[in-house]
Structures are given as structure tokens and as C-alpha cells.
Structure 1
Amino acid sequence: MTSTLKLALTGFFVFLLTLSAASTAHEIRPAIIDLTLEEDGAYRIDIQTSVETYLAGIGPEVTDTNDAPQADEYDRYRAMSAQELTPVFKEFVPELINGIRFQADGIDLNLPEPSLALTNEPDLELARDAVITFTGTLPVGSSSLAWQWDEQYGGSALRVTSASGEEIYTEYLQPGTAAGPFDITGAVKQSGFSIFANYIVIGFEHILPKGLDHILFVVGLFLLSSKLKPLLWQVSSFTLAHTVTLALGMLGIVTIPAAVVEPLIALSIVYVCVENLWSRNLSKWRPAVIFGFGLLHGLGFASVLTEIGLSPNHFITGLIGFNVGVELGQLTVIALCFLAVGVWFRNKDWYRSYITNPASIAIALVAGWWVFERTVYGV
């Protein structure tokens, strides 16, 4: 092989291993913001998030806290008990409030000092969720609201409901993006198209850049054969399966704990890559096996949507939008694989020896570690 080719292949494997390493540590998840409106004009804002990232000054450009320059500071906060962390959070509150714009009918509202509740005890191996809660009263006769917080706090899912649980508004927000103004009187309903487009973004982002285990699974499918027909058979089988369990999981018909699903998802990656080593062509049973693995991945997708919450009034719209986003993400991964190695080298005699086998071994080893990690330490 030429030096240029060796450099290209080295870059491809480094890319795979970088993706793999990034998914083994502390992933930063979007905040879940629940705004509940009472009949008497009172409101409650519950923000479920990882407050240590804010205290350490880790911004949305970082996807894993271990990669941040402030990683040591983040770990120091993570090691604190609730009693120790609360006064640190209180010192941070003015900065937090200064980064939030909450409006009623275009008028800025002054947020009160929030409370902080931590959901579990310190454990550096696991992410710790916190709930930041603001309570207050809207001006009499308020008909619309708007919400925005500083880009440094990252992406978020905003859910606005009445005290009875009736949905008023829902949107996934990119870092720094404003929501609204949106009507809270019921006179103007949120359009189905806006929800559809919003959930496409959520689905796509769950693959790229956040779904690193799903990315490596799709890469594993690509590695068996860079020819389009066998790849389409596998992807179609996978798509059909995860569509089924995504719907069943969201409807509550099938529920399996993440502690079971996530190690099995990692194990599915190991299987696909090991089979790549001893199978040169698409076997008769491989689409069926991929279908079974797709069922597992669908349950993983469902856990993401369950956490963010689907719009009850637009359940089907949101479900389809999320699934479309997932598919677009998977197709993008395949396209990138073709651009990286498939277009240039797929017809070479050495393609299997220098690309399929080494890449499959690397991914299988990393996924094997995930099986161990997710089984021993949990997810």
C-alpha cells in the first residue's frame, strides 16, 4: 500500500476509536425543562440536568466531561454530597438567573431564587441528575410565554403543561435557541408540522453525534460488505425492527430496564463485528439476526423518547418524526463510511484484510468493554 493509503486507513481507525472512547465516560445530556401552569396564575419550572457541568463552566461544545479542561473541577463537584454542593449552587444562582430570559406577553419576568434537589449520592462512575426548581406567579391575564437560556447551558427539551397534565407546548431547543412566544390560553394550538420537524432533529442527534453505540453498530453492518444490496438488506431489517419496539416501548406495551437493554446493545455490536471476521458474504440468517438486534436498539431509542417525553396530542407525529431523524442519522453514517473508504477501496483485493477485519476487531474489543462496563457499573 502507498503511504497516502496507509495514512487514510489510519485516520479511519482513529476516527472509530475516538468515537468509541467518547461513549465510555460521562456523556452530557440535554436538560429536561418542565413548566407547569396553575389555574391561579402560579407556575413551577423543574429543570432536570447535571448541575455540576454548569458549576464547572463546561459548555455545549463538550460532549463528554472527561474531555473538558474543567474535568477535575467537575469531578470535585461530583464527589460532593448534597449538603456540600448546595451552598456552592447558591453562589452560582445569580449567574444562572442572569442567563435565563422568561417572558410573559413580551415582558421579562424576574425569577425567584430556585431550590436544588439531587437525585442520588455521589458516584464518579455514574452521572448524577439534579432538579432545579423555580416557583412564582405570572402577571394577571398573561396570554403568551417565551423561554430562553444562555448557550453555555446546552440543549434542552421544553415541556409546558397545565396543572391537570394537559399539554400546552413542547419543543427541543438547541443551545441558546429561544422558545416562543407561545400561546397559553388554548386559543392557538402548536402545529403538528413544527412538532414533526422538531422530533426529526431529536432523532438525528440521537445518532449523530450522541448515539455512538448505534453509530458503531451501523459501521459494523457496513464493514461486512460495502456493496449496496447486502447493506440495504441489513439496514432494512434493522429499521423495521427498531421501528416496532420504539412504538411498543413508547406505548408502554414492552418495557425492559436499561440495565438489561444497554449491555445487550453493546453485545449486538460484538456479534456483528465477530461475524464479519468469519463471513465473507451476507448469510441467509444475518438479516433475521439483525432484526432481533434492531428490536433491542428500538428499546434503547424508546428510553430516550421516554425521558424527553412525546407530545400526547401529537404522539404519532412525534414518533414518526423521531424515527425519520434516526434513519437520516443512520444513512449519514453509511454515507460517511462510503466516502471514507467504500468509494475508494471497496473493489480492492486487500479491502477485507486491511479494512473489514482490523476495523471489526477494534470495534468488537471496544463493544466488549462496554458489555463489561454496563454490566458491572450499570448505565
Structure 2
Amino acid sequence: MNHKWIRQLFASSMLAILTLIAMLGHGTSASAHSGNSVAYSDIQMEDGSIAYDLRIDMYDLRLATAPNDPDVGDFSQEILQKFVTEHKSDVESYLLDKIRLYADSLPLDGALLALEVTEARDQPYAEAKLRFDVSSKPEHFVLDYQPIYDDVDQWHINYVTMALKQDGSDKQSYALNFDNREVELGKISLFRAVKQFFVLGIEHLITGYDHILFVLSLLIGARSIKQILTVVTAFTAAHTVTLLLAGFGVINLPGKLVESVIALSIIYVALNSILNKNASKHNMFLAFGFGLIHGCGFAATLSEMRLDGGQLAASLLTFNVGIEFGQLIIVLLMYPVIHYARRIRWTMPAMSAAISVFGLIWLIQRAFL
């Protein structure tokens, strides 16, 4: 009998057994690659906020947020506790970037309140307690869940339980996977859409300092009520066209390009009113041309929202009407100031120069930084 052959067989068998034991011993770390990556989301409406408690496989989370951590394969309690302590800000940035909640089409601001070590499915898990501010119970709600799929495991599954009534009743359950990553509930009413987007349009114009300075530059270059009405009408017509086209997805210009050209438009119109004695004759064309770009800038605000498809047209139109109303407020407030300031000879050139400086600063920030 060949004893050498027996010894080789015995050695091979022992090696196979030891390899199997090692794999079983490290089953926790290997499980993330075996297609059974699972997370659990519990979403509950509270007073003034939406509570989102996420339990997610610790290995998945660590690999996604701290892939260069030398301890990523160590699952001792001490190392896990160290991770949730030292990488809480990384986890918050990652989750709030990958998990988006929309209430009545508007994105909600969130925060990570706590990150803890827990256990599920006999594996170490992380429990992230997220809170999203919301003023009232939404009629239309969207959960857009993107973590893990593209970073770690395309077979990841997220089991979602939602109760958007404050008493916790009427719970609904969903399973999200690679091909189905969002939940959409309800439908925003026409009245709520009109009211919400009208107010949003006013707020966007009044708080959009670049748009305000552009309108101010146009007013400085105008010499009469007729010219003011002409440039404001041209600007309104132009940005209405591109706002609607961008809102319906017909055009989609790079955000950096749009913001840079808006800054450039402020510089050009402001300097034109100083250097060109016939500026008022050309302001209508400048207002229309640059208004097309400003409309894309207005539409960029809507790109951050999840518009209810059934109310898309109403939302876009009332948002634009809100912008026009805000623009009217600006014109009515500024025109008397400009009218009386013209009596001081150096006032208009000084205002235009100051506006162009702001435009130059914005241009540098948006185009080069």
C-alpha cells in the first residue's frame, strides 16, 4: 500500500477542513459579499418631524463610509464602538446624501441624532437615528433610498415600514432593491401645489441676490416708465420660456455654466449702463437674452424637488407667477429710490460699479472655485 499517497490525501483533507472552519469563523465579514445584505427602515411621523430609524449591516456601512479603515474587517465590540464614535460625521454625510425624503415635492433637511452598535440576523448592525424637519403631514411623500447598492452590494435589500400618521397606525411595508429604490405615497392637491409653489417663487426671487442685482442694473439703465416696462416684460418672457422648458426636461444646461453666465450678465449690464450712453436702447435685448439664462437658474431650484407628475404643470406655472410677483415687489421698491438718486450725479455710476464688483466676485467663485 502506498503510504505516501495516504499521507497526501490526509494532508489535503485537513487543509480543506481548516479552510472551511476559517470561512465559518469569518462568516460575519464574508456575508456582505454573499448577496444577503439587508437593512431595515422604520419611518414614523412625529410632531414637526419625521423619525427615520435605519438598521444597516455594520460591514456594509463601514465599507461604504470608511473603506480605508485598517480595522474594517475587525468585528470586536471595541472596534465597532470606536467606528460609531470616530466616524459619525462620515456616516451622517453619507446617509443624508444617499437617503432623500420629499414632502409635497420639497426636499427635507435631515440630521443624524445618534449612531449605535446593535445586532440583527446574528450579525453586527449599526442603528442610525435620523430626523427630518417637516411642518405638517405631507399629502405627497417620496423616499429615495440609494445607500449600498452602488458602493458595496448590488443585491442589497431594504425592508421599509412606514407610518405617516402620528398615532402610528396605518403602517405600510415595502422592500427596496437595486431596481426599485424609492417609495412614493399620496398625491398633492391642486390647491396645495398652487399655494406652495407661489410662495416658493416669491421667496426664491427675493432671496436670490444675483437676480435682484440684475433687475436693479436694468432699472438703472432705463430712463422712463416705458423703458422699465419694456425691459421687465422682456426679462419675464425670456425666463418664463426657459423655466418651463427646463421644468419639463426639454433643456438641461450644466449648473456651473448657468450660474457663471448669470454672474457675467450682472457685470455686463451694470458696466453697460455706465459706459454706453445709448444703453437704454439695447436693454430690452439684453434683458431677453440674459433672461433665458436666468430662467435656467430659476429651474435649478426645482431640480432639487420631486414634483408630483399630476401637478407638474400647475407647480411650474405658479412657481413662475410667484417669481413675477416677487419681481414686481422689487421693481416697486427700487424704482422710487433710483428715480430720486439720479438727482445726485455720481450715484448711478457708483451703484453700477458696486453691482459689477459683486458680479465679478460671483463669477470667480462659480467659474473657477
TM class, shorter-chain normalised? 0.5 to 0.7
Q: Aligned residue for 1:219?
A: 216
State the distance in 2 between where 1:99 and 1:326 align: 25
Trace 1:280-291 onto structure 2 (pairs within 5 A): 280-291=277-288
- Residue 161 of structure 2 contacts residue 171 of structure 2 at CA under 8 Å; is this kept in 1? no
CA-to-partner distance for each residue in 1:4-31, whole Å, 9 max, x for gaps?
A: xxxxxxxxxxxxxxxxxxxxxxxxxxxx
The amino acid that maps onto 2:161 is G
Moved more, 360-369 or 309-318: 309-318
State the distance in 1 between where 2:272 and 2:130 align: 50
SS at match of 2:87: helix
Deviation at 1:91, TM superposition (A): 4.3
The amino acid that maps onto 2:199 is V
Task: Please say which structure displays the higher CA radius of gyration.
Answer: 2
CA-to-partner distance for each residue in 1:295-321, whole Å, 9 max, x for gaps?
A: 100011111011123321111211110
State the distance in 1 between where 2:323 and 2:205 align: 6
**Which of 260, 263, 268 is the equivalent residue of 1:266?**
263
Q: What count of residue pairs does the alignment treat as equivalent? A: 235
The amino acid that maps onto 1:199 is F
Q: Aligned residue for 1:276?
A: 273
SS at match of 1:334: helix
State the distance in 1 between where 2:233 and 2:240 align: 11
Q: Aligned residue for 2:353?
A: 361
Moved more, 277-286 or 301-310: 277-286
Deviation at 1:290, TM superposition (A): 1.7
- Residue 197 of structure 2 contacts residue 315 of structure 2 at CA under 8 Å; is this kept in 1? yes
- Residue 201 of structure 1 contacts residue 322 of structure 1 at CA under 8 Å; is this kept in 2? yes
SS at match of 2:186: strand
Task: Mark the runs of 5 or more structure 2 residues left unpaired by the alignment.
Answer: 1-40, 51-84, 93-111, 117-127, 139-144, 149-157, 173-179
SS at match of 1:309: coil
Report whether the alignment pairs 1:240 with 2:237.
Answer: yes
CA-to-partner distance for each residue in 1:107-161, whole Å, 9 max, x for gaps?
A: xxxxxxxx9979xxxxxxxxxxxxxx99534356469xxxxxxxxxxxxxxxxxx
State the distance in 2 between where 1:99 and 1:298 align: 29
SS at match of 1:285: helix
State the distance in 2 between where 1:375 and 1:220 align: 21
Q: Aligned residue for 2:161?
A: 136
**Which of 323, 330, 333 is the equivalent residue of 1:336?**
333
- Cα root mean square deviation, aligned: 4.0
- Residue 226 of structure 1 contacts residue 338 of structure 1 at CA under 8 Å; is this kept in 2? no
Q: 1:42 to 1:85 in 2, by over 3 A?
A: closer
Identity level (%) = 30
SS at match of 1:255: coil
State the distance in 2 between where 1:103 and 1:319 align: 23
The amino acid that maps onto 1:136 is T
Report whether the alignment pairs 1:320 with 2:311.
Answer: no
Q: 1:282 to 1:232 in 2, by over 3 A?
A: farther
Q: 1:101 to 1:283 in 2, by over 3 A?
A: closer
Deviation at 1:345, TM superposition (A): 4.0
State the distance in 2 between where 1:376 and 1:312 align: 36
The amino acid that maps onto 1:290 is A
- Residue 310 of structure 1 contacts residue 319 of structure 1 at CA under 8 Å; is this kept in 2? no
The amino acid that maps onto 1:319 is L
Deviation at 1:169, TM superposition (A): 3.8
Q: 1:167 to 1:314 in 2, by over 3 A?
A: farther
- Residue 201 of structure 1 contacts residue 325 of structure 1 at CA under 8 Å; is this kept in 2? yes
Deviation at 1:327, TM superposition (A): 0.7
Trace 1:117-266 onto structure 2 (pairs within 5 A): 136-138=161-163, 141=170, 168-170=186-188, 190=189, 192-209=190-207, 211-225=208-222, 227-266=224-263
SS at match of 2:253: coil
Deviation at 1:291, TM superposition (A): 0.8
- Residue 230 of structure 1 contacts residue 282 of structure 1 at CA under 8 Å; is this kept in 2? no
SS at match of 2:251: coil
- Residue 243 of structure 2 contacts residue 296 of structure 2 at CA under 8 Å; is this kept in 1? yes
- Residue 167 of structure 1 contacts residue 312 of structure 1 at CA under 8 Å; is this kept in 2? no
**Which of 82, 87, 91 is the equivalent residue of 1:83?**
87
Q: 1:251 to 1:359 in 2, by over 3 A?
A: same
The amino acid that maps onto 1:369 is I
Q: 1:137 to 1:278 in 2, by over 3 A?
A: closer
SS at match of 1:256: coil
SS at match of 1:208: helix
- Residue 222 of structure 2 contacts residue 280 of structure 2 at CA under 8 Å; is this kept in 1? no
Deviation at 1:166, TM superposition (A): 5.7
Question: TM-score, structure 2 length as denominator?
Answer: 0.54
Q: Aligned residue for 1:300?
A: 297
